Amino acid sequence: LNVALLPNTAGCHSVREAVTTAHMARELFDTPWIKLEVIGHADTLQPDPFGLVEAARILTDDGFQVFPYCTEDLVLCERLVEAGCRVLMPWGAPIGTGLGLNNIYGLRSLRAHFPDLPLVIDAGLGLPSHAAQALEMGADAVLVNTAIAVADDPVNMAKAFRLLLVN
């Protein structure tokens, strides 16, 4: 069985931690893919935009395909693309909140500005309807964790997301 993995630098709060973690993941999983997180705020888990761009540049220069966890800020996303990112993973809302899409205008602006770049909504989705809304507004995919992990019935919640996304 051949399974593609997307290692993650979750929990990293500095460029150095993120870059080191990415290098370890590449060695361990033999993949150039890395979901890049550089956390700037411990409570909200908001990304550090400055550290994110710096780490993205270092890693793309080193041959990684970087999937950055970011906000919907257009300037930040332009810098990430300039740094070599070919996918953007903006949050819908802060990690684990389940609030859905907090800034629809910002996400739509991002989609309009980068019409051909894969856009994956990563974080803040709490319901299958949130995922549907993200896809309806032009996102290419969604990444869901907490909504399923903390659900009263995680198996049925996962099935609900799957049914939405497959149909």
Q: Which residue out of 8, 15, 35, 56 is catalytically annotated? A: 35
Give the long-range contacts of residues 79-85, CB within 8 A, separation 24 or more.
79/49, 79/53, 80/52, 80/53, 80/56, 81/114, 81/117, 83/53, 83/56, 83/57, 84/56, 84/57, 84/60, 85/56, 85/60
Q: What is the C-alpha to C-alpha distance for residues 114 and 134, in angstroms, rounded to an integer?
A: 15
Q: What is the C-alpha to C-alpha distance for residues 130 and 58, in angstroms, rounded to an integer?
A: 33
159 flagged as catalytic: no
Q: Catalytic residue numbers?
A: 35
